[in-house]
A and B are shown apart, each in its own frame.
Chain A
Amino acid sequence: MSESISNKQMYHIVETICDTIEEQQQYLSDLDGELGDGDHGVNMAKCFREVRKKVEPVADKDCGTILKTVGMYVMNSVGGAMGALYGTMFLKLAAECTGKTEVTLDDLARMFTAAENGIRTIGKAQVGDKTLLDTVAPAVASLQKSAAEHKSLTEALAAFEMAAKNGMESTRDLIAKMGRASRLGERTIGHLDAGATSCYFILRSFAHGVEK
Chain B
Amino acid sequence: MKKFINDPFNLVDEMLDGFLAVHKKKIRKLEDVRSIARTDAPVAGKVGIVSGGGSGHKPAFIGFCGEGMLDAVAVGEIFTSPPPLACYEAVKAANGGKGVLILLGNYAGDVMNFQMSADLSAADGIEVEQVILTDDVASAPKGQENRRRGVSGAFLCWKVAGAKAAAGGSLAECKEVVERVNANTRTIGVALSPCTVPAKGSPTFVLADDEMEYGVGHHGEPGTERIKMMSLDDTVQKMMNEILVDLPFTKGDNVAVVINGLGSTPQIELYAAFRKVKSILDTEKINIENAYVGEFFTGLEMAGFSITLSKLDPEIKSLLDAPASTPCYTC
Contacts and interface: CB of A to CB of B under 8 A. Distances in A.
Given A75-B84, A122-B116, A184-B222, A80 B109 contact: yes
A42 B200 contact: yes
A46 B9 contact: yes
Contacts of A180: 107-108, 219, 221
Interface string A71-90: 00001111111111101000
Given A37-B197, A180-B221, A43 B80 contact: yes
B113 A79 contact: yes
Interface in A6-46: 29, 37-39, 42-43, 46
Interface of B is mostly: loop
Interface in B214-246: 217, 219-222
B83 A77 contact: yes
B122 interface: no
A85 B108 CA distance: 11
Interface string B64-99: 000000000000110111111110000000000000
B272 interface: no
Nearest to B203: A38
Contacts of A99: none
B115 interface: yes
B112 A81 contact: yes
A178 interface: yes
B202 interface: yes
A87 B139 CA distance: 28
List the 6 closest pairs (A to B, CB-CB), nearest first: A84-B112, A81-B109, A179-B108, A80-B109, A80-B80, A76-B85
A123 interface: yes
A123 B76 CA distance: 19
Contacts, number: 89
Contacts of A123: 108, 112
Contacts of A29: 200
A86 B109 CA distance: 12
Interface size class on chain A is: 20 to 34
B284 to A, nearest CB: 29
13 contacts: A29-B200, A38-B204, A39-B79, A39-B80, A39-B200, A42-B200, A46-B199, A78-B80, A79-B86, A80-B113, A87-B83, A123-B108, A180-B221
A78 B83 contact: yes
A94 B76 CA distance: 26
Interface of A: 29, 37-39, 42-43, 46, 75-85, 87, 122-123, 178-180, 182-184
Contact of B115 (A39, A42, A82, A122): A122
Nearest to A183: B139
A144 B112 CA distance: 27
A187 to B, nearest CB: 8
A46 B86 CA distance: 19
A37 B109 contact: no
Nearest to B80: A80
A80 B110 CA distance: 7
B140 interface: yes
A155 B147 CA distance: 43
Given A78-B83, A79-B77, A80-B77, A38 B116 contact: no
Nearest to B219: A37
Contacts of A76: 83-86
A75 B80 contact: no
Given A79-B77, A80-B81, A183-B221, A38 B202 contact: yes
Contacts of B79: 37, 39
B82 A79 contact: yes
A84 B116 contact: yes
